[in-house]
């Protein structure tokens, strides 16, 4: 995917260090089980989506915050190394965000997120607002304060920047935020929780896990793509890989973007970890070729 054919994407969101434990099965409440492996993997929904967009060829700027701990330095290096511009990434006193992830033998996961520095993104600077106004797409999630997401979305809408929202994790959202959203990317749970709100969004993309993905446009356009027949290792970050890839190709139209994102999300399940599993444009393009 040539970057000249892709939009400039500003991602406003979280960046975490994922603490990943693998085990035969996830423990029941009060139960202790033995794990089979452990790894620290850079993640966070915002960072994962930024890396996915960059690996799909977009020009990506990241807005968010890291702590002044060792994790923070690793997280910045990971974003930068993936081609994401981090000149506006804040460094604050204290701990970076973390996510504790348990993955079972069939690749399903349970996740606990501790916001850390992500919870301190309480306002937007003039430079951050300018970056949003200059972008083609603003991509947001809900792992930073919602009031900040609302300010960014309103500013993007007023500036002619497409507002893409992945409303995860599920939380009550103000109607003013939904009114600013052009494109919503949701999974089955989010689609159910926000069914009334999604009715007012011009473009809605639903991820369907192993069954692929679907698109609904306000003009009545309906599209579906089937899932890929692959061996799943870990579903962590697959939705983020999908969302970032979708943002990177959205300017090419829903059909192209949906197929590209669906393939990116599926390929991300074939490797362990979140950011470490996100495929590049060459791998996605190869998987899309007939035969």
Catalytically active residues are: 240
Phi, psi of 128 (to 5 degrees): -70, -40
> CA angle 204-208-209, nearest 5°?
140
In terms of C-beta density within 10 A (0-12 exposed, 13-18 middle, 19 or more buried), how is residue 30 classed? exposed
CA-derived radius of gyration, the chain: 18
Q: For residues 118 and 9, give the distance between their C-alpha atoms in angstroms, rounded to a whole number.
A: 20
Residue 77: CA count within 13 A, CB half-sphere: 7
Q: Which of 90, 160, 96, 95 is nearest to 122 (CA)?
A: 90
Give 105's DSSP letter: T
Stretch (H or E) spanning 266: helix 254-268
Q: What share of the chain is helix, strand, coil (3-state, %, to 5)?
A: 40, 25, 35
Beta strands in the chain (DSSP E): 8-12, 16-23, 35-43, 59-63, 65-67, 90-92, 97-103, 109-114, 137-140, 162-165, 183-186, 203-207, 213-217, 222-225
Select from 158, 252, 244 the least CA-distant residue to 207.
244
Residue among 86, 60, 52, 43 nearest 7 (CA): 60
């Amino acid at each position: 995917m040539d970057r000249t054919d892709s939009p400039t994407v500003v991602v406003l969101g979280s960046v975490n260090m994922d603490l990943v434990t693998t085990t035969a099965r996830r423990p029941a409440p009060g139960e202790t089980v033995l794990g089979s492996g452990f790894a620290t993997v850079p993640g966070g929904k915002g960072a994962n989506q930024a890396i996915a967009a960059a690996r799909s060829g977009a020009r990506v700027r990241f807005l968010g915050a890291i702590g002044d701990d060792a994790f923070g330095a690793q997280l910045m290096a990971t974003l930068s190394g993936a081609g994401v511009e981090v000149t506006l990434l804040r460094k604050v006193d204290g701990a970076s965000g973390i996510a504790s992830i348990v993955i079972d033998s069939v690749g399903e996961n349970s996740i606990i997120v501790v916001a850390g520095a992500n919870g301190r993104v309480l306002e937007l600077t003039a430079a951050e607002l300018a970056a949003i106004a200059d972008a083609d797409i603003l991509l947001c999630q809900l792992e930073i304060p919602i009031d900040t997401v609302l300010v960014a979305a309103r500013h993007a809408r007023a500036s002619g920047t497409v507002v893409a929202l992945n409303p995860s994790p599920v939380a009550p959202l103000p109607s003013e935020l939904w009114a600013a959203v052009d494109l919503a990317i949701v999974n089955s749970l989010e689609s159910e929780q926000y069914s009334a709100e999604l009715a007012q969004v011009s473009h809605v993309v639903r991820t369907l896990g192993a069954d692929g993905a679907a698109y609904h446009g306000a003009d009545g356009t309906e599209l579906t793509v089937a899932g890929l027949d692959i061996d799943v290792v870990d579903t962590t970050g697959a939705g983020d890989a999908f969302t970032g890839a979708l943002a990177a190709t959205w300017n090419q139209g829903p059909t192209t973007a949906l197929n590209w994102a669906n393939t990116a999300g599926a390929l991300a399940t074939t490797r362990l970890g979140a950011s470490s599993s996100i495929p590049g444009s060459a791998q996605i393009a190869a998987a899309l070729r007939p035969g």
